[in-house]
Amino acid sequence: MKQTDETREFLSALGKTIQKYRKAKGLTQEKLAILVGSESENDQRSLISKIESGKRNPDAFLLSRIASVLDVPATTLMNEAMHVQDETKVCELFERCYGKDAFKAVQLFLKLDVDDRADITDLMISKLRREKYSTQDGSKIG
């Protein structure tokens, strides 16, 4: 059965979410597969690798076993994956609309603490009050 782009995006996001929780528990892909009880020794690491890369769609039973080993509800894995998927789409749209430089500036801004964000915002407002940022009708931006 052919997957839609949306399905592929969701499976990729789900895989990243599972990987995040697996790493947080200090598990290798092989160890997670063993704990989940994968079918064969050859399939152990491959199973988790395919899920984490979005190439395999885990059925509900497998997802619940993975969630159980990771000590997180399966619904949390799915909800976080949907959030990652939505966030990725928003980021792509922002970058398309405003360009890579603006996107990078926002990413950097979000890494700052509250005080430094306020300083940067004040600096931008100050710069926007300059004559070169005046509009055609004589009013100022900011």
Range of the domain at 126: 112-142
List the CATH number of the domain containing 44: 1.10.260.40
Beta strands in 40-106 (DSSP E): none
**pLDDT of 136 higher than 60:** no
Q: Please, what is the end-to-end C-alpha distance for the chain in angstroms? A: 53
Judgement on whether residues 90 and 31 belong to the same structural domain of the protein: yes
**Nearest to 22, CA basis, from 10, 34, 11:** 34
Query: What's the rounded mean pLDDT across residues 26-49?
Result: 81
Judgement on whether residues 25 and 67 belong to the same structural domain of the protein: yes
**Nearest to 85, CA basis, from 23, 25, 6:** 6
Contacts of 25 (CB under 8 A, 6+ apart): 70, 71
State pLDDT tens for residues 107-128: 888 888 999 999 999 999 888 8
Judgement on whether residues 36 and 90 belong to the same structural domain of the protein: yes
Judgement on whether residues 29 and 93 belong to the same structural domain of the protein: yes
State pLDDT tens for residues 12-37: 999 999 999 999 999 999 899 989 98
pTM recorded for the entire structure = 0.62
* Total number of domains constituting the chain: 2
Distance between CA 97 and CA 99 in Å, rounded?
6
State pLDDT tens for residues 53-92: 999 999 889 999 999 999 999 999 998 888 877 887 788 8
State pLDDT tens for residues 83-99: 877 887 788 888 888 88
**pLDDT of 142 higher than 80:** no
